Amino acid sequence: MEKKFNNIILVPTDFSEVCENAIIHGAEIARSLDFKLCLLHVVNRETKTKLKKESHDVSFVAKQLSDLQETYQKKYKITVEKVLVEGNLFSSIHEVAREIRANMMVLGTHGKKGLQHVFGSYALRVVLESPVPVIVVQNKSFGKGYRRIVFPISNDLEPRQKVQTALRISRLFDSTVHLFQSKEKDTALISRVSIITRQIKNILDENNVKSEVVTAGRAAGFAAQVLSYAVLNKADLIMIMTQPNVDVPGFSLSEWDEKLMFNDAQIPVMLINPMDVMVNYMESSSVF
């Protein structure tokens, strides 16, 4: 049977500082897992125009990519592959992720107001329709890894699909998982969130993963409270499930856009799409 994944971390890059930070995150994860790192650059129409103005051609970009490959291969003692393709940014990133059978993607973003020419407004689409989980990073350094993970639990989202991923990351970095549950008004919803939280806490306890349960202070503005808690507790990673093509109270796409993916604290955010491939991802023992 053909493997669903090839033990590869994919990192698209536009050669900017924030993308270099994404490469560092990807390289650290790859080294911890004994995975390969794959660096991707997509040459689109805008890239060609920029190269022409600077009297360069595609070979200039190829050289930059090769230099990065050599640098990170030597520094982290891991296998680094490179892919240079021409085409549409959005579709090319997803196509490459599928072709190389990547396990995960690390995406560097410059923030909502400072997006550069490579990703631009495609950043949110890349994440929401990615065939693999994505860690979105800004300028926050990798440090000692994802030691403090904030794990939101809300009635509006299905958090149990994140549990296996949280377990695997926790084992890598000896993490503490902060189960941050929403505060509900309705009795039935209070019970539902409580049951889900207890189930997840039991799984973490059974696997000797350190964890603690915290409840939001108010019913409204859950996303903002998640971020405030993450900042106060110096979180290294926030893990969420996405909800493509729907507006969900408390975690609508606008709030992800404004407060999570592009959060001012620059805390990395891991987003997992609730698709069939994600179930395969989490069930595959080869992932982490």
Tens of pLDDT, residue by residue over 127-177, are 777 888 899 999 999 999 999 999 999 876 666 768 888 998 999 999 999
Domains of the chain: 8-137 (3.40.50.620), 148-282 (3.40.50.620)
Does pLDDT of 203 surpass 90? yes
Report pLDDT for 28. Answer: 97
Tens of pLDDT, residue by residue over 25-68, are 999 999 999 999 999 999 887 778 787 788 788 888 999 999 99
- Cα–Cα dist 125/273, whole Å: 12
First to last CA, the chain: 19
Alpha helices per DSSP H over the chain: 17-33, 45-53, 58-76, 89-99, 122-128, 163-173, 187-206, 222-232, 253-255, 276-283
Report pLDDT for 32. Answer: 94
pTM: 0.86
Q: Which helix (H) or strand (E) holds 269?
A: strand 269-272
Does pLDDT of 281 surpass 50? no
